[in-house]
Structure 1
Amino acid sequence: MRLPLAAFLAFALPVAAHAQFVPRSLPPGDRNPGISDMGTLPGSGPLPDRELRKARDLINEGRDRGELSKGEAKALRREARQIDALADRYDRDGLSDPERRELETRLQLLRADTLAGRSQGHD
């Protein structure tokens, strides 16, 4: 009983603590440290096209190899579609820096979730 509880707390506490942190706002024009410039400018087209293709390829490859369950792959594909729709909506009037950072973050999380699911190996 102690081992499952300890495992749960080890994973649940960092997630709960992470949700409580709120980053400070940066002055206009300042770059957010640690966020890479993916080479697009506002209005130059949806940012995540290439990254979404890579994420979808990872999802499909993981499902084909049995590393992701059908439900996991479905949830990851749904998230990819939501990111794509959000990118299209943001790009209508040009991507702002905060919008670009949000898309980058969501893509990074999608990729991390995909890789984590694949490393667990489901049938």
Structure 2
Amino acid sequence: MSKDTLINYVELPCRDLPATKAFFAAVFNWTFTDYGPAYVEFHDKGIVGGLYQSELASVTANGAALLVFYSPDLATTQQRIEANGGTIIKPIFDFPGGRRFHFTEPSGNEFAVWSDK
């Protein structure tokens, strides 16, 4: 494998594109480019990807990969998630190296947020 090979893009299923776009814009300041009614690309600090219209959701209970955000302030990030329609599915817990929690966004996709603080 080449040293230049790297993960470059991620695509996630999305039940409700408008709600999911609004959630990530409000909580994580993502920006978007629409490519028709069933696909949107997101742009973020460190990752680029897409959301595609689907009735499926990416959850670890079904074997999906877990995308993990870093935050220096877990409590504030959790409050922003809940205030914008996210659901905490695993409350803050300790693990070697820090603390984290898991949440789902309005389309049901699971993510985590961790901190070393």
Shared fold (TM-score, shorter chain, > 0.5) = no
**Category of TM-score, reference length = shorter chain:** under 0.3
TM-score (norm 2): 0.27
- Per the normalisation by structure 1, the TM-score is 0.26
Higher helix share: 1
